[in-house]
Amino acid sequence: MKAIIEVAKRGAAIRSARLQVAEARRGKTLDYRLSFESARMLFSELTPARLELLDTLRRVGPCSVYALAKAAERNYSNVHTDVSRLEELGLIERGEESTILVPYESVEILMPLAQVA
């Protein structure tokens, strides 16, 4: 399963949710989809530091926030803040004994460019 993060026009998230519900009814494995209205919004939430945390967490496997901060060589408080936001966005989950993990094999960021007339 992968996470698909996209920049999409207003209302696209609702269409995407309807598509996911239809696929689920057919028994298909669903990818996680997360939409933002602009590239600016996407990259304000998914900063380079947060994307690196996702990569580090996927590499080291389920662990505590403290262990992740140590593996990422970052300040615990900043990592805790970033993990909380990534959890709110659905990109990190809590496992057993309060460990955190990335439940996705990959993350794809889709950002359409302006169309030339």
CATH of the domain at 105: 1.10.10.10
Question: What pLDDT is recorded for position 9?
Answer: 72
- Residue 100 included in any domain: yes
- Residue 115 included in any domain: no
3-class SS of residue 107: strand
Q: Which domain holds residue 88?
A: 2-110
Cα 20–21–24 angle (5° rounding)?
A: 85
Residue 20: pLDDT over 80: no
What domain count does the chain have?
A: 1
pTM of the model: 0.81
How far apart are the C-alpha atoms of 84 and 66, rounded to whole Å? 13
For residue range 74-117, what is the model confidence (pLDDT) as tens digits?
Answer: 999 999 999 999 999 999 999 888 899 999 999 999 988 876 66
